[in-house]
Structure 1
Amino acid sequence: MSIDGIWSYPPQAAYAEGMDLTGFTVVADDGTVGHVDREAGHFAMRHLVVDTGVWVFGRSVLVPVGVVARIEAGERRITVSCSRAEIKAAPRFSTDSETMDPEYLTRVGEYYHGLPPREEATA
């Protein structure tokens, strides 16, 4: 995947334009990450802001939509193609203004783009 591809839903994700993912549960290959607080796409860098609850000390994380492996609308569930540890190690998200900071978003994109590819888990 190109670095620009990290900001677009992959075809196998089953994303339909206009789909509201707010409240969907986000699941990594090793457990639940949290729930989608909102989706944003400033500077053509589409991403999800995920509320992790108490898992990461009550903070949110920013996840580029290119790591979405599958959306199950009926289950209100999003599976991502990375681990919880990889998400936790991503550049720290601390304020909503960061979704408007192209330098921060670039760092996040480079981090996720650099992760080793994974084979999608079978359900």
Structure 2
Amino acid sequence: MTGNMWNYGSTAGRQAGVDLIGYKVEATDGSIGKVDKHSDDADAAYLVVDTGVWIFGKEVLLPASTVVGIDPNERKIFVGLTKQEIKDAPEFDREKHLGNQGYHDELGTHYGRGTPFGGPHA
């Protein structure tokens, strides 16, 4: 991943205004679940994926930069992560997500950035 991990890459195919809730999410090695929530906020875009029974109902937050392609006809999102990388991700916590620097640091570290938004700490 390059640039800010919380922005969609220029080749991801993200179209503004398209609701991604319910889209199936495909890892590099198979299906992982469906989008439960998403944000298109500048420098803070992400997907929350409900993994269903695959990881016993765990939800994970995927930074927008993990998206490598979107197929609106098939209602699928392709991410550049393996199922294991997603399984090992910190579980999405709605309370921690809002304004918790430690949680964002943990996500940044897991997705290989070491800092929460792909840049230095403020």
Cα shift at 1:17 = 1.7
Q: Aligned ranges for residues 1-123 of structure 1 at < 5 Å? A: 1-2=1-2, 5-40=4-39, 44-93=43-92, 95-100=93-98, 101-113=100-112
Higher helix share: 1
- In structure 2, the CA distance between the partners of 1:86 and 1:14, relative to structure 1 (3 Å rule), is same
Does the CA-based 8 Å contact 2:33-2:49 persist in structure 1?
yes
Cα shift at 1:42 = 7.1
Q: Give the aligned length.
A: 112
Does the CA-based 8 Å contact 1:42-1:99 persist in structure 2?
no
Among the aligned pairs, what percent are the same residue? Answer: 38
Partner of 1:119: none
Partner of 1:118: none
| TM-score computed with the length of structure 2 as normaliser | 0.82
Cα shift at 1:43 = 8.8
CA RMSD of aligned residues (A): 1.9
Q: Which runs of 5+ in 2 are unaligned?
A: 114-122
Give the secondary structure class of the aligned counterpart of 2:111. Answer: helix
Q: Which runs of 4+ in 1 moved over 2 A?
A: 40-45
Does the CA-based 8 Å contact 2:7-2:42 persist in structure 1?
no
Cα shift at 1:113 = 2.7
